[in-house]
Structure 1
């Protein structure tokens, strides 16, 4: 199973540590609140707003090199728009990986 990484950030920043650190800092600042908001929307069964939050999180998933995770996000977002939440566990697993990864950064 794939793990979050900084490969994409290294590529787009030409390996500049300060640029990578800036991106990681922004993600570390924004991700916990977005993850929490997503979880709350799912508890409330607010599928449309949850889909919008998945869309927002999808970009961070891509930045952290999770190609399979992004595919899960796309599927989950589309399903939520139709009121289908069957992919929520797979998506939560992706978010949990990111949460663990960011704690080490």
Structure 2
């Protein structure tokens, strides 16, 4: 499994620590809610809502430079359109990796 990094956030902040901290704060606020929404929709097996949640979370995955994980999320999103949850386990592992990473920053 890939390790999240701050390269993209650093490039957006252009060396401005306050901008970097604001970006991190936004992600730390949004990610847990988006993750919770994902698991709620998954529990209801609401494919359309799950797909929407995956789409939102996919952007967080790319922000942390997780290219392979982004591809996994993208494939999972496409599977959901076919009413398949294939890829959910790998996607949920990615969410856990990001959650753990957010605790360290």
Q: Unaligned stretches of 5+ in structure 1?
A: none
* In the alignment, structure 1 residue 45 sits paired with structure 2 residue 45: yes
User: How many residues are treated as equivalent by the alignment?
Assistant: 105
User: How far off is 1:16 after superposition?
Assistant: 2.1
Aligned partner of residue 4 in structure 1, secondary structure: coil
> After the TM superposition, which of the residue ranges 14-23 and 77-86 deviates more from structure 2?
14-23
Aligned partner of residue 15 in structure 1, secondary structure: coil
Residue 100 of structure 2 corresponds to which residue in structure 1? Answer: 100
Q: Deviations over 1:63-98 (max 9, x none)?
A: 111111111110011111110101000000100000
RMSD: 0.9
TM-score, normalization: structure 2?
0.94
Residue 67 of structure 2 corresponds to which residue in structure 1? Answer: 67
Aligned partner of residue 56 in structure 2, secondary structure: helix
Aligned partner of residue 71 in structure 1, secondary structure: helix
- Which portions of structure 1, spanning 4 or more consecutive aligned residues, are displaced by more than 4 angstroms? none
Cα distance in 1, alignment partners of residues 14 and 49 from structure 2: 36
Q: Unaligned stretches of 5+ in structure 2?
A: none
